[in-house]
Amino acid sequence: MPERQLITGNEAAAEGAIAGGCRYFFGYPITPQNRIPEYMSEHLPLIDGVYIQAESEVAAINMVYGAAATGAWAMTTSSSPGISLMQEGLSYMIGAELPCVLVDMVRGGPGLGNIAPAQSDYWLATRGAGHGDGRCLTFAPFSVQEIYDLVGQAFPIAQKYRNPVMILADAVLASMREPCALRDRLDPPEQKPSWAVGGDQKGRQRNIVNSLWTDPPVMEEVNLRIQQRYRDAAQNETRWTEHGADDPEILVCAYGISARICQTAIEHAAEAGIACRLIRPISLFPFPTEVIADWAQRVKKVLVVELSLGQFIEDVRLAVEGACPVERFGRTGGMLVTPEEVAERIIEIA
Amino acid sequence: MAETRLTEPIYKRPESLTEVQMHYCPGCTHGIAHRLVAEVLDELDLKDRTVAIATVGCSVYAYEYFNTDAVQASHGRGPAVATGIKRCQPDTIVFTYQGDGDLASIGLAEVMHAAARAENFTVVFINNAVFGMTRGQMAPTTLMGQKTTTTPLGRSVEQGGYPLNICELLAQIPGVAYLARETLTSPKRIRQAKRVLKKAFQVQAAGLGFSLVELVSSCPTWWYMEPLEALQWIEDVMLEQYPLKVFVDKLEDGR
């Protein structure tokens, strides 16, 4: 019987990582995710792990790069401006085919912005990972329990696809306190991957971790190999939930905290006589394109709810492919929407 | 008198160097520096447990030349990458190989904080007072008055500020266990450079903390000089700004 504890999203991210086998954490303080490095600094040294406070987010992601090169299960966490600084390192990790897990507790932006909840890092998370032809596999939890579960699951996924995995949450989820079922902490695997550097090199080929390919045909081959892993991930790792009317008029698409708000909103809309179905992508890259395309054939309109000014809606539109009109509702800059406001919008467009 | 027979070669390529032909310009001292590091790894029997970290600059291909596991780091981040490796594998010998653009310009924060944390790895710092790979622009270590492709009239305080003396900065930091500056201008200096490099790796193997060896090096191509003239310029001009010295030696102190 798993133990249930009342913990914050930040603590769930930290404990979820440890439970999933992570023993190496490199980070830099930034609100609203400070409880994660604090938790790691307290817990990791007690279980033969390593916590290092880096001099910057730039250094933190490069420490993760070094740790990942040894085959260690390493992570960093940050919030929007810090994730911007990590883009270069992520690009190098993708190019060098190294796994890691990072968490973005999104805050209002652009610039220094504020420390209120926002979803305006959608592009950063799903298109980002710096320069070049790579992306982060991205998952968006909507509860404390799901943060805990997804962070833990992210490590084997990162290893399998040799690519960074980003957990995209927000300032509400970071500080929200909810009951969370905790599992026993897993030990990291003893067997190092064949490509890992370090340790005793006697009797094996030397390993090189590198993203420099000056010969364009070789670089193209590397990029195609990485792309194939994304296709495999689309087959195996695409996740979403859906619920509501089986014969809906309006399809509502939302992820993370917005989806949580929409759960109540579609109940309000149903009371007003408008049947809705809510699709909540859990994986943002790979994106649940097919299921949205399917429903788009059967509804009058799609309403996208996001705490950003038209980022998430692009992926929905790509899925809908013009099958029906796609509208957007949301706020920005750290402002939240209420279920009543969303319901009102649903009634307006129905 | 007994006949002398050479059954073993007395001079050969170190095991810690691959057979790949280096791409460095004629007269460049990178090749010597690589060889010295490789000889030290051989002599201390560290080859099979070393990870070399290549950085960005002329030595970007160092992972092709050092016959050990290797990681290529982004510009300036070698010490952060080394930190990640060493913290996961304390028994692995880790060194970064960084030029002055990489270490003293874009990577100054990373090297300073690695030293402050007393990270137990070794930095081989090649100071040739210029950005070599990008066509000879000004580096933080460019001398006053030195002409480069971005200081065509010579480095001035107004335009480029003053040269940065990395060893003198690092010498203030308690986490530094070994710190020395040498050059490669003559057989005597090359032998001395090998001694200080060996010391740096011994310090790391003993777990004493951060070690760095700065090698004042030549760049005939972007100094617009003949190779020998470049070596002479180091002796006559560069060493005044960058005097040769063992700044910190905790291995010796402990004896």
For residue B32, what are the contacts with CB-CB under 8 A and spacing of at least 6? B184, B190, B193
Q: Pick the closest to residue A16 from A46, A36, A41 (CA basis).
A: A36
For residues B124 and B99, give the distance between their C-alpha atoms in angstroms, rounded to a whole number.
Answer: 8
pLDDT at position B9 is 84
DSSP letters, A10-41, are HHHHHHHHHHHT--EEEE---TT-THHHHHHH
At B157, the pLDDT band (50, 70, 90 cuts) reads: very high
Residue A272 identity (one-letter amino acid): A
CB A124 within 8 A of CB A135: no
Q: In whole angstroms, how large is the CA radius of gyration of chain A? A: 20
H-only helix segments in chain B = 30-43, 62-65, 78-88, 100, 108-116, 157-160, 166-170, 187-205, 220-223, 227-233, 239-241, 250-253
How far apart CA A148 and CA A20 sit, in angstroms, is 9
> Looking at residue A257, what is its pLDDT?
96
The structure's pTM equals 0.96
Averaged pLDDT of chain B: 96
In tens digits, chain A (350 residues) has pLDDT values of 468 999 999 999 999 999 999 999 999 999 999 999 999 999 999 999 999 999 999 999 999 999 999 999 999 999 999 999 999 999 999 999 999 999 999 999 999 999 999 999 999 999 989 999 999 999 999 999 999 999 999 999 999 999 999 999 999 999 999 999 999 999 999 899 999 999 999 999 999 999 999 999 999 999 999 999 999 999 999 999 999 999 999 999 999 999 999 999 999 999 999 999 999 999 999 999 999 999 999 999 999 999 999 999 999 999 999 999 999 999 999 999 999 999 999 999 99
> CA-to-CA distance for A130 and A102, rounded, in angstroms?
14
Return the pLDDT at B247. Answer: 98
- What residues have CB less than 8 Å from A270, skipping those under 6 apart? A244, A245, A276
Q: Which of A23, A57, A70, A194 to mutate to test the interface with B (most CBs of B within 10 A)?
A: A70
| Closest to A168 (Cα-Cα) out of A116, A104, A120 | A104
CA A188 – CA A19 distance, rounded (Å):
9
A63/B121 Cα distance (integer angstroms): 14
Alpha carbons A159 and A74: distance in angstroms, whole number: 11
**Confidence (pLDDT) at A68:** 98
Nearest to A329 by CA among A314, A350, A347, A346: A346
> Between chains, do B117 and A70 touch, taking CB under 8 Å as contact?
no
Distance of CA B209 to the CA centre of its chain: 17
- Please choose, from the candidates B140, B161, B163, B160, the residue with its C-alpha nearest in 3D space to the C-alpha of residue B151: B160
The CATH code belonging to domain A3-183+211-237 is 3.40.50.970
Helix (H) or strand (E) holding A182: strand A177-182
Burial class (CB in 10 A: 0-12, 13-18, 19+), A186: middle
Chain A interface with B: residues with Cβ < 8 Å: 24, 26, 50, 52, 54-56, 58-60, 62-70, 72, 74, 88-89, 92, 96, 197-202, 206-212
Q: Do B70 and A72 touch (CB under 8 A)?
A: no
Contacts of A52 in chain B (CB under 8 A): 83, 87, 117
* Contact present, A317 and A326 (Cβ < 8 Å): yes
pLDDT in the model for residue B2:
63
For the record, the structure tokens of B43 come out as: 């002599």
Q: H/E/C letters for each residue in B157-180?
A: HHHHCCCCCHHHHHCCCCCEEEEE
CATH of domain A241-349: 3.40.50.920
> DSSP secondary-structure letter at B133?
T
Nearest residue on chain B to A207, judged by CA atoms?
B69
Distance of CA A109 to the CA centre of its chain: 18
Tell me the torsion sign for CA atoms A310, A312, A315, A319.
negative
Residues in chain B closer than 8 A to A207 (CB atoms)? 69-70
pLDDT for res B255: 56
What does the DSSP 8-state code read for residue A339?
H
**CB A10 within 8 Å of CB A177:** no
Among all chains, which residue has been given the structure tokens 């940065």?
Answer: B164
pLDDT in tens, B179-213: 999 999 999 999 999 999 999 999 999 999 999 99
Q: Virtual CA dihedral for A124, A127, A132, A133, nearest 10 degrees? A: 160
For residue B252, the model assigns a pLDDT of: 83
The pLDDT of residue A141 is 98
Note whether B144 and B157 are within 8 A (CB).
yes
Nearest CA in chain A to B45: A202
Question: What domains are defined for chain B?
Answer: 30-253 (3.40.50.970)
- The closest of B177, B169, B176 to B116, measured between CA atoms, is B176
How does pLDDT run across A311-344, given as a tens digit for each residue? Answer: 999 999 999 999 999 999 999 999 999 999 999 9
Dist. CA A349–CA A58, nearest whole Å: 45
Domain residue spans in chain A?
3-183+211-237, 241-349
Q: Is the pLDDT of residue B254 over 80?
A: no
pLDDT range class, residue B8, cuts 50, 70, 90: confident
Long-range contacts: A156-161, Cβ < 8 Å, 24+? A156/A20, A157/A233, A157/A237, A158/A99, A158/A100, A158/A101, A159/A73, A159/A99, A159/A193, A161/A99, A161/A137, A161/A229, A161/A230, A161/A232, A161/A233
- Rounded to a whole number of angstroms, the distance from the CA of B63 to the nearest CA of chain A is 7
Q: Any residues with CB less than 8 A from the CB of A273 and at least 6 apart, and which?
A: none
- Cα atoms in the 13 Å half-sphere on the side-chain side of A95: 23
Listed in sequence order, the residues at least 6 apart from B45 whose beta carbon sits closer than 8 Å to its beta carbon are none
Q: Which residues contact B180 (CB under 8 A, 6 or more apart)?
A: B167, B196, B199, B200, B212, B213, B214, B245, B246, B247, B249
Please report residues of B whose CB lies closer than 8 A to that of A67. Answer: 84-85, 87-88
Cross-strand pairs, A305: A329
Chain A's closest residue to B56, CA to CA, is: A212
